[in-house]
Amino acid sequence: MEIAKAQNEVRCAYKDVEKASNRIAFCLTAIHDLKNRDIEEQDMNLQDLATAPQLTKLTVNTPAIVEKYGDELDFYFHDRQPLDVFAKFATVNEENPLQFIDILKDLILNEKGEPIMNDGHILPIDVLTEVIKIVGEFLGK
């Protein structure tokens, strides 16, 4: 009985060593790869982070929207927003919830970078709700 336990422990130990060997081999491969890339540290300059906003495609693809409208719905959004946009969001309150829609009018764009909601055109509430969620997640990043 003791011999069987010992043999089992040896098998377990062997498997642990084998797993550790595989992990070490993976790490060595990764280190070797990084070494071969000749990655050099560079000083980060704040100016390098300042770039013009890029038009970014976002997609409403919830099952309810796809089922109702027959496909995913794409819209565009600038990946960077000026500070005043965040300041406007901060001033929205329960007394003036329509101010939020006014802010969104300038943020939800078509593929040309033009506002979608203009000249009396507005999105259906279910779509607008999903767009608000997506924009909120995007701005939170």
The answer, yes or no, to whether residue 117 has pLDDT greater than 60, is yes
> Based on the domain organization, do 6 and 65 belong to the same domain?
no
User: With the C-alpha atoms ordered 108, 112, 118, 123, is the resulting torsion angle positive or negative?
Assistant: negative
> Based on the domain organization, do 63 and 36 belong to the same domain?
no
> Residue 60 gets which letter from DSSP?
E
What are residue 58's phi and psi, to 5 degrees? -120, 155
For the CA atoms of 23, 27, 32, 34, the dihedral, rounded to the nearest 10 degrees, stands at 150
pTM check: above 0.75: no
> Based on the domain organization, do 99 and 116 belong to the same domain?
yes
> Based on the domain organization, do 110 and 82 belong to the same domain?
yes
Q: 36 is in which domain, residue-wise?
A: 1-40
- Residue of higher predicted confidence among 129 and 140: 129
User: Total domain count for the chain?
Assistant: 2
> Based on the domain organization, do 64 and 129 belong to the same domain?
yes
H-run or E-run covering 66: helix 63-69
> Based on the domain organization, do 33 and 86 belong to the same domain?
no
> Based on the domain organization, do 28 and 51 belong to the same domain?
no
pLDDT tens-digit series, residues 59-106: 999 999 999 999 999 999 998 888 887 777 777 777 776 777 778 888
Mean of the per-residue pLDDT values for the chain?
79
Mean pLDDT score, 48-57: 86
- 85, two tokens: 């946009």
